[in-house]
Structures are given as structure tokens and as C-alpha cells.
Amino acid sequence: MKFRLILSAIVILYILMNLHIIASLAALCSLYSHEWLRWPVMIIFIFLAANTFISFRRRTGKLSTLMYGLSGLYMGCFIYLFLYIVLSDLLVLLGIGKKGALTLCLILAAATIIYGICNARKVRITVYDLFTDRKLRQDYRLVLLSDLHVGAIGYLRNLRTVSDIISYMKADLICIAGDLYNDSSAAVALNDETLNLLKSFPSRFGTFLSVGNHDAGNIFSEMIDFSRKAGIKVLIDEAAVINDDFVLAGRMDSSPVGNTDRIKRISPAEFMDRIPHDRPLVVMDHNPANIREYGNDVMLLLSGHSHHGQIFPGNLITKMVYLLDYGFHHRDETTPDQIISSGCSTWGPPLRVGTDNEVVFINIHSAK
């Protein structure tokens, strides 16, 4: 009941915010004496707002995937249109003419959206050095990827860029900490080009995947099979020994958004019982909030999920929601070191404002 009330409140708020956007744009048409534009503008924005609800259904066909992508693009536009229109309302209260205030703020909204789209097409490299007190045979070079969202808008371009970056990194190990796929909309992306790009990730000891919340849906089994076909080892609450030197484990996600063939995350105690304890342990767990489940018996925890908020002011929200939402963290001696990636691509709005897509390169330095 509480969830339904919250959801109803969000839906009502979303409708009211869209009505304010539509009314402001219609008013601007009148202020510029373009009355003929009022109805076309209103119809277009009513459709875009309604499509957000229409597109949240089965998304395995090309048309439904296109509609879902359009809803994601509109969500990014909606956020900045609303914020800047509210700013124009404040400017009007300060005595600035409505026509000038609205025009200025719509120009700023358009500039922000265009910047966000352009920035989402880039992938940067982030480097961390981890000096561990655990004894290893050698130092290791790990690549951390997360949130590639295969099937989302722009995924293929970013996947090509990620492949190019990894090709010259000379990684020992590639860790994909969840959300390789974009739930059921990934169906149209499980093709030869995607397969060949995933196969092209070079490393000494292979590529490993833990399951994220969007690695779910009515094609869950196809996602897992596709990953294995690409040479990716999928770790669902299980572990692999790397170079007979340390253990890499992958967790099932704690809150999948769709079908996972009835596979559920096991308890922390059950998980730790499955893991060898005679070597240093690295764990991939998609949601950074799950750090509460681990102690200092874990050398390093690798996560994603938050996207670092993806678009401002989302990064301010993730800072409030998560104990840790991005970057490298060493809290105290009772918890593992944690690295949280902002992701290689976008989810929902194909925009990045105030954050970046990234490939994370981790140098693990053994205790001497």
C-alpha cells in the first residue's frame, strides 16, 4: 500500500510538471504571435509525456525498443525543460519580462541537453592504485567495466570505444560489475556485431561478469548464453581462482528489475561459505549499497549501478541515497576497499551532465 501511494504521488507530480512545461511552451508561442504552433507543440509534448508510461512494457521488438529509447531521451529533456522553466518563473517574479525570461531559459535548456548528448558519446579512462596489505605473487592490472547497457540508446558507439580503450590497456583481468545488458530491450542488440565487440576484450585471465539489476527480463537466459558465447565467465554467487593467487567472486543482484529464471541472491553467510578463504578475495557486487554485507576479509569490492547520478542534479541525489556513490573509498579497517564506477554508458536519458562515462583501470600493488 505504501509503495502504491508513493508511486501514485510520483505519477501525479510527473503529470503536473509536464502540464507546466506544455502551458509555458504554449504561452511562448502566443507571446511570439505564433498561435498556429500552440496545438502542434501541445500534441507533441503530450505524446512524449504519455509515451513514458506506454513504453514500460514488453520491449523485445524494434518498434517497442524505439519507443522506449524515445521515452529515455524525453526524460532527459523533461528534467532540464522543467528546471529552466521554473528558473524563468523566478525571473518573471524578479521583474523580467516573461517572453525574454522564457526564451533565455529555453535556450539554456537546449544548450544543456545538447551538451549532455555530446558528453554521453565520450568515454574517459580513470586510474586507481590500490596498495594492499595482502601478499600476492605479483602486481595485477584490472579493468573495471559496469553499466554498458547493451540495447540502450548509443550503446554500440560506446561499446566500440570501450573495446578500443581496452585493446591497449594490457589488462590481466576484466571485471564487468553488472548491467552489461539493458533488460528486455537488449533483445534487438544480441547480434554478431555486439558479440564480436565483447569477444575483442583482451586480457591474460579472461573477462568475468556479475549480474546487475538490468541483467534481467524475459530474455534473461539468452543474456547469459550470449555472454558465455562471447567468452565471458558469468559468476552468479560463485567464484573463480585467478592465477592460483586470488579469488574473484560475483554476486547475484539484490534487486533485479525482471525475470531471472527464479535465480535469487543467497544470503551473505551462504555466499561466504561458498568462497575459498585461503587467498585474497575480490568481489563484484553491482549495487554499492551492499558494502554493508562485507567485512575486511574482502580485499576489494567492485560496484557500479549509481551512474554517479548520470545527469545533474542526479549526482546530488545519489550522494544522499548511497553511503558511497562513486570513486575509490577506504573507510576503515573493518570494511573492504571499494571502487564504484560511474558506468561505461547511460541508462534512460542518453545524456551525461556533471558526470562521465568511464573505463576504470586498477593497479593492484601486492604487499612486499
Q: Which residues touch 132 (CB under 8 Å, ≥6 apart)?
A: 280, 299, 300, 337, 364, 365, 366, 367
In angstroms, the CA 10 to CA 286 distance is 26
Radius of gyration of the chain from its Cα atoms, rounded to whole angstroms: 23
Give the tens place of pLDDT for each residue, 344-367: 999 999 999 999 999 999 999 998
What mean pLDDT is reported for the chain? 93
Residue 70: closest CA among 142, 153, 4, 185: 153
**DSSP three-state, residue 247:** strand
| Better-predicted residue by pLDDT, 331 or 139 | 139
pTM score, two decimals?
Answer: 0.93
C-alpha cell at 178: 553488472
- Map out the domains of the chain with their CATH numbers: 2-119 (no CATH), 123-365 (3.60.21.10)
Give the tens place of pLDDT for each residue, 246-296: 999 999 999 999 899 989 999 999 999 999 889 999 999 999 999 999 998
Q: What is the per-residue pLDDT for 201?
A: 94
Is 24:88 a contact under the CB 8 Å cutoff? yes
Per-residue CA distances from 4 to 1, 7, 261, 296 (Å): 5, 5, 26, 39
Given a cut of 80, whether residue 108 has pLDDT beyond it is: yes
Q: What is the per-residue pLDDT for 39?
A: 95
Given a cut of 70, whether residue 48 has pLDDT beyond it is: yes
